Amino acid sequence: MKQSTASRWMHTSNYGRAIASRAARYSARYYRIIIAALVVTLLVLEAAHANRFLQALTAGGILLYVAYVVGRLLLPARWMVHYYTPRVQFWRAQAGILSLTLLLIGYAFFQQRTSLWVLYLLAMMIVSEHCRTPELLLTVGEIGLLLIGLGYVGSGLPLTTYLRFSPALVTASLQALAILLLGFLLHYLVRNVEARDTTIARYREMLDTLAANIRSLHNPQAGRALVLNICRAMRTASCGSIWALDRQADRLILVACVREDGKNPECPASNDAPHGFSIPLDDDRLPACVARTGQPHFASRADNPPRHLTDALPAPRPFLPHARLQLGVPIPDFQPHQPASLAVLCLAFDRPMKHEEMKQEYDAICEMARYLSPILYHASLLEQHQALQQLVQEVTRSLDRDRVLDTLLELVTDVFGFDLATVSLVDEVEGAIRTVRGRNVPQEWIDMAVHSLDSNDIQADIIRTGRTEILTGWDERFDRRIWERFGHKDMVRVFVPMV
C-alpha cells in the first residue's frame, strides 16, 4: 500500500525532536521578537542613507511597528480566540500593506532605491495562514498592482512612457513576480505544515480514543465497532464495514458495520444484526473483489468516475448501490495462528468528491488499514479467550461427554480456524486409542481411526511421548488407509495430547 507523506513523517526516527537544542527552543519561543528585530534592522539600514524626511518617516514607521509588536505580546490570552480569526487577520494584513505602501511612496517620491518591498511577504504569509485562497489571490493581485504603481511614482516618467516597457516598469514587474513566486512558496509551505499538523492530530486523536476505550471493552464485537466507527468518523464516511474471509465456506462474513445516523438504510447495520450476514467469495461486489484478489478496489457513482485511484482496481458492482464512492482495502494477517487470514475494510461516501479528493481518501484509508490489523488481532484473541472460558465452564458443569467434546471441536474449527478436527480417547480396557468425535470429517474416517496403544500409529505415539507434533507430508506412523482415502497428502496435521 502506498504510505502517505504524513505517515512517513510520523514514522521518521526522532521526527519532532529537532527542537531539542537550546537555540531551536529559543527560536520557537521568541520567533515574533526575532522577526520584529529583523524588520526593524532592515528599516534602520534602509533609512541610514536616506534624506532627513525619509529618516523621520521611517522612524515613525518603526515606532508604530514596535508599538504593535508590544501590544501583540501583551494581548491577554482570552482575546486570542477573537484575534486569530480570518477576518481580523485579513484586515491586519491590509493594515500592514497600507502602512508599508505609505512608506514606500515616500521613498519613491524622492527616487530613493529601497528593498523594503520584500516586507509585503509578511502580509502575504498572514493571509496565507489564516484566510482562504480567494483572499490570498486578492492580496497577491493588490500587492502586484501597488508595486507597479510605486515603480511609476519612482520613475518620474509620463504614464504612457512608463507603460511602454520602460526599465522602471520592468523592474517593478520583476518585483511583482518575485513577490508572486515567494508568496506561492510560502503558501505551499504553510498549507503543507497545516495539513501535516492536522493529520498528526487526527491520528493522535484516533490512537488516544482507542487507548482509552479498547482495553475496557470485553466484547470483541464492540471493539471492532469502536475501531470502525472511529475510522468512519475520521474520513466522514456515511457507512463502514469490516468483512472476514471464511476460506472453508468461500464466503465473506460481515463482522462489523457502522453507519452515520439516518443515512444509508441499505447498510446491513440498519438491521441491527450484522452477525451472520455474508456474501459468496465469487460475488462481483466490492468486498468480494478485494478478498478474492487481495488488492484495493473502488466503486464510483460520480458523474465522471475516475479511471484509477493509485493502485486500486475498479469493482464491477458496489456493495451499496446508491453511495457516490466506495473504497475497499485488504487487512492481511489479522487472525492469530492463521497466516493466510484476510479481512476487508470498506467505507462508503455520500458527499460529492473530485478525483483528487478521492485519491486523498484512498491514501488515508490504506494508511488506516495498516493500524487495524493488530486491533482486529486483539479482538480475535479476546474471542478465543472467551471461547476457552466457555469450554472450561462447559466441562465443569456438564457430565455429558459428547456435549463437552462437541464444544471443544467447535472451538478448534470456528474460533481457531482449523478446517477439521477430531478427538480420540484412550480405552484402557481394550488397550486402544479410538477417534470418537469429529467435525467436518466423514463418519467413515471416525470409524477407521482405531489403533492399539502398543502400535506405531501416530496417536499411540503421542500418548506415549506426550509431545505436540505438527506434521506435513508422509510419516511412517500414519495409517496408510486413512492417508490415501481422505487426501491427507494435502493437509498439515496438528496432534495435541490432552492431559
pLDDT tens, residue by residue, 264-308: 455 554 444 445 688 888 888 888 888 888 888 888 775 555 555
Query: Looking at residue 63, what is its pLDDT?
Result: 93
pTM, 2 dp: 0.47
Which of the four pLDDT bands, split at 50, 70 and 90, describes residue 344?
A: confident
Give the count of beta carbons closer than 10 Å to the beta carbon of residue 199. Answer: 18
What's the mean pLDDT when you consider all of the chain? 77
* Higher per-residue pLDDT: 377 or 444: 444
Report the chain's terminal Cα–Cα distance, integer Å.
Answer: 46
SS3 106: helix
Burial (CB < 10 A; 0-12, 13-18, 19+), residue 28, is exposed
Give the count of beta carbons closer than 10 Å to the beta carbon of residue 440. Answer: 12
* Higher per-residue pLDDT: 70 or 472: 70
pLDDT digit string, tens, across residues 147-164: 999 888 888 888 888 888
Strand pairing report for 450-452 and 469-472: unpaired
Query: Looking at residue 430, what is its pLDDT?
Result: 86
- Is there a contact between 337 and 385 (Cβ–Cβ < 8 Å)? no
State yes or no: pLDDT of 98 exceeds 90. yes
State yes or no: pLDDT of 318 exceeds 70. yes
Strand pairing report for 342-349 and 239-246: antiparallel
Question: Which residues, in sequence order, are CB contacts of 446 under 8 Å at separation 6+?
Answer: 422, 435, 436, 437, 438
pLDDT digit string, tens, across residues 179-206: 888 877 777 776 666 666 666 666 666 6
Q: Where do you find CATH 3.30.450.40 in the chain?
A: 220-385
Query: Looking at residue 9, what is its pLDDT?
Result: 38
φ and ψ at residue 326, rounded to 5 degrees = -130, 135
- In 3D, which of 301, 371, 271, 272 has the Cα closest to residue 329? 371
pLDDT digit string, tens, across residues 14-30: 434 444 456 666 666 77
Least confident range of 140-149, 379-388, 441-450:
379-388
- Is there a contact between 471 and 492 (Cβ–Cβ < 8 Å)? yes
Query: What CATH class is the domain 220-385?
Result: alpha beta
Alpha-carbon gap, residue 201 to 304, rounded angstroms: 33
Query: Looking at residue 90, what is its pLDDT?
Result: 92
pLDDT digit string, tens, across residues 167-178: 888 888 888 888
CA 283 to chain centre: 28
